[in-house]
Amino acid sequence: MAVIDKMMPVRRGRNKFSLPNHSANDNKFLKKLFWYHLLLSFVYYIYSVFNRSDSHFYYEKIVTGFRGPDWSSFYGTSTTFIEWTGYPFIKWLGFSFEAIMALFAFFGFLGFIYFYRFFRERIFFKNTYAGFDLLHLFFLLPNLHFWSGSFGKGAFIFLGIGLLFYGLNNIPKRYWVLLIGALLTYHIRPHILLVILASSLIGFTFSSKGVGWGVKIVMILIAAMALGFIYKDVLNMVGLETDTVLTEGLNMSNRAAELSKATSGLDITTMSLPMQVFTFLFRPLFFDAPGMLGIIVSFENVFLLFITLIFLFKGGILYIIKGDFAVKTAFFSFITVSIALAQISGNLGIAIRQKSQIMMLFLFIIIQMYDDKKKEVFKSRRKTVNQRETLIRE
């Protein structure tokens, strides 16, 4: 855990009107978060023992050499990349199923560290809800830990997005972090990288503060080259042929119908788009919970729905319009991925798992709004104090 101690930034205040120093509390919280994540990763392992999960299939395909005789046979995007990553640990180092599960749980925890660093660099004040630190409360949501604590795509996509946004917060000094995050996200979900790149472009273009035209031009060129590189892979991920997209459009109704055939499925093809997005983000809600796991997730969904309504009633939409680059990028990434996945996640179980990949971005926007409002009050008070001190000296 000494690594965590070195990673957290230190803010030193000279008087009561300086920004607070959170470093000591951050270190303590991250150490506790590690054990919390480990606990929920173990819960997932127990769940996988009684409910055969994708983790077992990944492991078995590596052991049996399903894709070929050597490591290179497993290389690819999506599922194959998970198998390719696990291959040397399982084949060469003899990792058991439990060992590879623990390793990927650690990868998932690294995602929490980088997301937390991204949040903390921008969140200065303690924002409370019902007496609880809202920042800590967001990072304790169990669904995030449950799906990022196993041998599978959840751990890597969570880490990849965390690296991306941490890198985007300081591109000149963290371009290597940004590159690693982009490569990792591309190999798991090319279409999500596509969305984040496009959202970054929009965020830079429409943010008026602190972004020079030189950086904007560089981002436009990078986004254009990356979009061209992963275009075909994105279409393959949703089962479409490249030459039919422009003529037929993105018709996902067939895939949605297939997913809705499961026991926890919903026929979303008859729903309006707003209802599809609502279903993806906030259901199940007790009355349609698929089993015990669905009931547990329903508690979290009620909380998310509640804080979303508060956010909207307190001017959340206007805040997003006026927000800076990070806010706009997070919002466009969140809403675009949500709309896309909502149209194919007819199965509630799939929706529960997939929304955990991008929910942190919306939670960031919420807490950033609260923090910016406190920052305005802070600046106003500091200005008043400075004016008083100037009058006294005169």
201 lies in some domain:
no
Same domain, 292 and 146: no
In a domain, 394, yes or no: no
Average pLDDT over residues 367-390: 80
Q: What pLDDT, on the 0 to 100 scale, is given for residue 27?
A: 87
For residue 338, tell me if it sits in a domain.
Answer: yes
CA distance 24 to 10: 9
**Residue range of the domain that includes 293:** 208-373
Q: Are residues 247 and 354 in the same domain?
A: yes
The answer as to whether 391 is a domain residue is no
Query: Which residue spans within the chain are E strands per DSSP?
Result: 128-129, 132-133
Identify the band that residue 117 occupies on the pLDDT scale cut at 50, 70 and 90.
Answer: very high
Of 141, 131, 147, nearest to 303 by C-alpha is 141
**Residues 152, 250 share a domain:** no
Residues in a beta bridge with 132: 129
* CA–CA distance, 13 with 28 (Å, rounded to integer): 20
Cα-to-chain-centroid distance, residue 103: 20
CA distance 147 to 105: 9
- pLDDT computed for residue 339 by the predictor: 85
57-87 pLDDT, tens per residue? 999 999 998 888 889 999 998 899 999 999 9
CA 268 to chain centre: 24
- pLDDT score recorded for residue 291: 72
Q: Quick one: 230 and 183 in the same domain?
A: no
Two tokens at 1? 């855990």
Are 30 and 174 part of one and the same domain? yes
Same-domain pairing of 236 and 357: yes
Q: Does residue 266 surpass a pLDDT of 70?
A: no
Our measurement of the distance from residue 50's CA atom to the centroid of its chain's CA atoms, rounded to an integer in Å, reads 28
Domains in the chain: how many in total? Answer: 2
Q: Does 70 map to a domain?
A: yes
Which residues, at least 6 apart from 305, have a Cβ–Cβ distance to it below 8 Å? Answer: 282, 285
Same domain, 181 and 228: no
pLDDT given for residue 245 in this prediction: 37
Please calculate the CA angle 327-329-331 and round it to the nearest 5 degrees.
65
97 and 127 inside one domain: yes
> Long-range contacts: 230-233, Cβ < 8 Å, 24+?
230/186, 230/190, 230/193, 230/194, 231/194, 233/77, 233/186, 233/190
User: Are 111 and 155 in the same domain?
Assistant: yes
pLDDT for the residue 246: 36
pTM of the model: 0.84
- For residues 44 and 133, membership in a common domain is answered with yes
Token pair 């967001």 is found at 138
Higher pLDDT, residue 256 or 168: 168
**Which letter, b or e, does each residue of 43-53 get, where b requires 16 or more Cβ atoms within 10 Å of its Cβ?**
ebbeebeeeeb
**Torsion sign over Cα 14, 16, 18, 21:** positive
Closest alpha carbon to 169 in 126, 223, 120, 134: 120
Residue 327 placed within a domain: yes
Cα 92 to Cα 108: distance, rounded to the nearest angstrom: 23
User: Does pLDDT of 113 surpass 90?
Assistant: yes
Assess whether pLDDT exceeds 80 at residue 232: no
CA dist., res. 269 & res. 256, Å (int): 7
Same domain, 33 and 171: yes
Residue 111 near residue 161, CB atoms below 8 Å: yes
Enumerate residues 6+ apart whose C-beta is below 8 A from 17: 378, 381, 382, 385
What is the mean pLDDT of the segment spanning 113-132?
Answer: 90
Residue 198 falls inside a structural domain: no
User: Of the given ranges (135-144, 175-184, 280-289), which has the lowest mean pLDDT?
Assistant: 280-289
Same domain for 238 and 105: no
pLDDT (tens digit, 9 = 90+) per residue, 341-364?
Answer: 777 665 666 777 888 888 999 999
pLDDT digits 0-9 by tens, 4-33? 333 334 344 444 444 455 677 888 999 999
| Lowest-confidence region among 185-189, 195-199, 211-215 | 211-215
Q: 390 lies in a domain?
A: no
